[in-house]
């Protein structure tokens, strides 16, 4: 097998970091969508309940940013071919 170099050239390095971002992004969205709304007051406690327009604004802005980020990452990584992807991003077990 070819030896894996210890340090990658700049381009490969960037690609790997892009793939890291692709993997982390859904987790980030999940936290923003699932954990944050759980902390909103919903009228059962003393505090004033969150207004619906604020809730809509929050959910849809996270949504739009998530889409733009995914599309941006896709744009950056699409040039690489499948073989490349499989070799570089699949963790060796």
Partner 1 sequence: MVTLNLLIAVCLIYVAGLFLVAFLAERAALRGRGGWLLRSPLVYTLSLSIYCTAWTFYGAVGYAARSGLEYVTIYLGPTLVMIGWWWVLRRLVRIGRAQRVTSVADLISARFGKSNLLAVMVTAMAVIGVTPYIALQLQSVTLSVSIFAADDVSSMQSGDLNDYAAFWVAAGLAVFTLVFGTRNLNANERHHGVVIAVAVEAVVKLVALLAVGAFVVWGVAGGLADTISRIDASPIGTWQTGGGRWSALIVLSAAAFVCLPRMFQVLVVENEDERHLQIASWAFPIYLLAISLFVVPIAVIGLELMPTGANPDLYVLTIPLSQGQSGLAMLVFLGGFSSATSMVIVATLALSTMMSNHIVMPLWLQLSARGAQQSGDVRAVVIRARRLSILLIISLGYLYYRASGGSGALAAIGLISFGGVAQFLPALLGGIFWRGATRTGAVAGLAAGFVVWMYTMLLPSFGPDGALPAAVFEQGLFGVSQLRPRALFGITGLDPTVHAVWWSLSLNTLLFITVSIFSFPTPLERLQGAQFVNVFDRSSRHARGWSASEGEAEDLMIMSQRILGAPEAQAFFRDQALQQGRVGRSPAPTPEFVQALERELAASVGAATANAMIGQIIGGQAISVEELMAVADESAQILEYSSKLELKSRQLAETAHELSRANEKLTQLSLLKDSFLTQISHELRTPMTSIRSFSEILRDMADLSDVDKTRYASIIHSETIRLTRLLDDLLDLAVLEGGQVSLNCKTVNLHDILEQAVTTAQASSAREFDIRRQVANEDVTLVTDGDRLAQVFINLVSNALKYCDAAEPELDIAVRREAENVIVAFTDNGSGIPADGETVVFEKFVRLGRGEGDGAGLGLAICREIVTRLGGAISYVPLEKGGRFEVRLSSGHAGKELPRMLLI
CB of 24 to partner 1, least distance (A): 10
Total chain residues near partner 1 (CB under 8 A) = 43
As given in the structure block, the two tokens for residue 68 are 């733009």
Residues in the chain: 93
User: DSSP letter at 33?
Assistant: I
78 binds partner 1 (CB under 8 A): yes
CB of 46 to partner 1, least distance (A): 14
The 10 Å Cβ neighbour count of residue 67 is 11
67 binds partner 1 (CB under 8 A): yes
Closest CA to 27 of 64, 75, 70: 70
42 binds partner 1 (CB under 8 A): yes
- Interacting residue ranges for partner 1, rule: CB under 8 A: 1, 19, 22-23, 25-27, 29-30, 33-35, 37-43, 49-56, 59-60, 63-64, 66-68, 70-71, 74, 77-78, 82, 86, 90, 93
């Amino acid at each position: 097998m070819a030896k894996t170099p210890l340090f990658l050239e700049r381009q490969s390095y960037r690609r790997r970091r892009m793939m890291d971002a692709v993997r982390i992004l859904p987790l980030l969205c999940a936290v923003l969508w699932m954990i944050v709304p759980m902390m909103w007051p919903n009228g059962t406690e003393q505090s004033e309940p969150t207004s619906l327009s604020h809730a809509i604004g929050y959910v849809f802005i996270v949504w739009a940013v998530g889409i733009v980020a995914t599309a941006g990452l896709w744009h950056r990584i699409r040039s690489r071919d499948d073989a490349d992807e499989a070799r570089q991003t699949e963790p060796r077990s």
